Amino acid sequence: MGDTASRTDTAEPETGPTRVSTATPSGIEVPEVITPEMVDRSRPEAPGEYPFTRGIFENGYRGRLWTFRQYSGFGSAEETNERYRFLLERGQTGLSVALDLPTQCGYDPDDPMARAEVGKVGVSLSSLAEMEILFDGIALDRISTSFTINGTAAIIYSMYLATADKQGVDRDKLTGTIQNDILKEYVARGTWIFPVRPSMRLIADTVLYSNDQTPRFNPISIAGAHVRDAGVSAVEEIAYTLANGLAYVDELVRRGGDINRFAKRLSFFFYVHMDFFEEVCKFRAARRIWAKLLRERYGVTDKKALMFRFGVVCGGSSLTAAQPYNNIVRVGVENMAAVLGGAQSIFTCAYDEAFQIPTETSAEIALRTQQMIAHESGIARTVDPLGGSYYVEWLTDRMEEEIMRVMGDIDAMGGAVQAIEDGRIQQLTAQAAHRRKSAQDRGVTTVVGVNAFKNADEDRDFGDVFRLDPTVSRRVLEKLDAVRERRDQSTVKNSLARLEAAAAKDDENLLPYLVDCCHAYATVGEMVATLKNQWGGFVEPIRL
């Protein structure tokens, strides 16, 4: 008894901040009390009505819950197929495909640049043969599939269509999303391949082709998620994303697209971080801004074309390797913010994603988090339950003002495409990342378990350890060799030649040629090399 008392008396106390910050992470100072006089009560309040501040559906989640996804993929197509079946059996309602870096960057697994990364951060998909394995036993007309893919998005989408053709599934029954947002790749992630202008052409080709071939499929998910994880604030995340969205709209209009048609299939994608009310309000503000821009700038009249539809990831850089079980709570908080913000699709990160590919156990906990919030918390019972809160309405207005200010800065740079080609947005993102890291290092921003409330004898039990099969690379290469051996070489050669000839023309949609290449079992690397022959590669601008 005495020993216990002695240890308690001499234990080092936990240290952490004693005051709450008065500003949001975006720098918006919050009054101590917000009164009715501080809120604009003249705005429309009906959910499902322009400008959609309270959501795009009049009955919210009572009509339909959001799509439950887990971002999954590792190693070979066989292993990832097994993980998909595991998650679907446990109640997941949509698939989200993680692809390895060689596939994202347009390299075949046997390329010297690829060998060390095969299957490490996602599944290796080098040809139609691999995608057929990936979706073996999974009916594509009964599941919504999302692909986080950008530089090779048109190729992966074409491969998905070819897989559906092989399954005998009508293309107009396919649902899902390809990310296909190359502009944010130049800014934040770096999996670009081609220069900006040909990449914009390829994206427009995909959107226009998809509108005809897969009318229920989203051919682009304009993503703020990765610039947010790269270091920008919630305000900048929305502003950069909407500016990129306008650049895609301009390109599609230039190509002769009907905005009242193609805008119905434009979707968006974000990360949710930990400042609960700022995250909720950024989505409310984004819906309002997007609807206004499309109606006022482009004359959009179709109500569905004005709707801002988005998916989110709960996790990302907000998760920590220190005290990793805290991440379960973080993801729960972020998941609730996503629901109260009106997301249509939600991925919840597993607690161990800060340091490894999730295990089955951690992935299941992440899925169960969504299920508990959907079916036990009651927050999906009514539409926009935070609507009318003085703070929420005030902060939504402030977020709108700040987002529009940043978008005005981008317009002054010549628009998103010009600003990216000049390296301006890349520079701003790097500066924002430095400010965020500095704030954490100085303790201005509190991260529990990282810079505050740390334990002297930190618990290093991270739970199950995921171990990638060391034979994956060898098995993937063996399958690639087998595909090359059994395919019809003349068919491959002819399909690639037709693709290159079409790429040399400015007015030819490349998607039919890419689908033909996939059916011929041409590889991702072969298709990318063919397009590079015509377009070259992107050279990153450097600004000091």
Q: Say if CB 76 and CB 84 are below 8 A apart.
A: no
Q: Would you tell me the crossing angle of helices 234-254 and 196-213 to the nearest 10 degrees?
A: 70
The mean-pLDDT minimum among 88-92, 408-412, 455-459 falls in 455-459
Whether 11 shows a pLDDT value over 50: the answer reads no
User: If residue 175 lies in a helix (H) or strand (E), which one and from where to where?
Assistant: strand 175-178
Across the range 134-161, mean pLDDT stands at 96
Task: Say if CB 25 and CB 233 are below 8 A apart.
Answer: yes
Across residues 37-58, what is the average pLDDT? 90
Does residue 469 form part of some domain? no
3-state secondary structure of 172: helix
Predicted TM-score (pTM) of the model is: 0.93
pLDDT band for position 235 (cuts 50, 70, 90): very high
State the DSSP H helix or E strand holding residue 145, giving kind and residue range, or none if neither.
strand 144-147
Q: Exposed, middle or buried, 222 (CB in 10 Å: 0-12/13-18/19+)?
A: buried
Q: 477-511: per-residue pLDDT in tens?
A: 999 999 999 999 999 999 999 999 999 998 899 99
Contacts of 174 (CB under 8 A, 6+ apart): 140, 141, 160, 161, 164, 214, 216, 217
Per-residue confidence (pLDDT) for residue 462, from 0 to 100: 65
Provide the terminal-to-terminal Cα distance of the chain, rounded to the nearest Å.
63
Per-residue pLDDT tens over the stretch 336-395: 999 999 999 999 999 999 999 899 999 999 999 999 999 999 999 999 999 999 999 999
Three-state SS for 192? Answer: coil
Taking CA atoms, 176 is separated from 69, 374, 431, in Å, by 11, 21, 35
The pLDDT value given to residue 7:
37
Centre a 10 Å sphere on the Cβ of residue 119 and count the other Cβ atoms it contains. 27
Residue 3's pLDDT band (cuts 50, 70, 90): very low
Task: Report the C-alpha gap between 131 and 84 in whole angstroms.
Answer: 13
C-alpha separations of 272 from 82, 146, 164, 332, 385 in Å: 28, 18, 33, 11, 19
The answer for residues whose C-beta is within 8 angstroms of residue 10's C-beta and 6 or more apart is: none
Q: What is the per-residue pLDDT across 172-213, written as a single tens digit (0 to 9) for each?
A: 999 999 999 999 999 998 899 999 999 999 999 999 999 999
Residue 41 or 444, more confident: 444
Q: Is residue 527 part of a domain?
A: no
Are the CB atoms for 147 and 140 separated by under 8 Å? Answer: no
pLDDT digit string (tens) for 307-326? 999 999 999 899 999 999 99
Distance between CA atoms of residues 30 and 48, nearest Å: 29
Domain CATH number, residue 118: 3.20.20.240
Number of structural domains found in the chain: 1
Inform me whether the pLDDT recorded for 258 exceeds 90. yes
pLDDT of residue 542: 72
Q: How many CB atoms lie within 10 A of CB 493?
A: 13
3-state secondary structure 238-307: HHHHHHHHHHHHHHHHHCCCCHHHHHHHEEEEEEECCCHHHHHHHHHHHHHHHHHHHHHHHCCCCHHHHC
Q: Which pLDDT value is given to residue 47?
A: 94
Average pLDDT, the chain: 93
DSSP 75: B
Report if residue 212 sits inside a domain. yes
- Token readout for 227 is 């610039």
Would residue 400 count as lying in a domain? Answer: yes
User: What are 507's strand-pairing partners?
Assistant: none
For 250, the domain range is 48-441
pLDDT level of residue 15 (50, 70, 90 thresholds): low
Q: What is the pLDDT of residue 247?
A: 97
In a domain, 516, yes or no: no
pLDDT band at 43 (very low <50, low <70, confident <90, very high): confident
- HSE-up (13 A, CA, CB side) for residue 132: 13
Mapping DSSP to helix (H, G, I), strand (E, B) and coil, where does residue 222 land? strand
Q: Which of 114, 190, 199, 111 is nearest to 155 (CA)?
A: 199
Name the token pair of 380. Answer: 């999906």
Query: Is residue 145 included in any domain, yes or no?
Result: yes
Q: Is residue 253 pLDDT above 80, yes or no?
A: yes
Tell me the C-alpha distance between 334 and 315, whole Å: 7
Decide if 334 is inside a domain: yes
Task: Confirm whether 427 is domain-assigned.
Answer: yes
CA 431 to CA 373: how far, in whole Å? Answer: 36
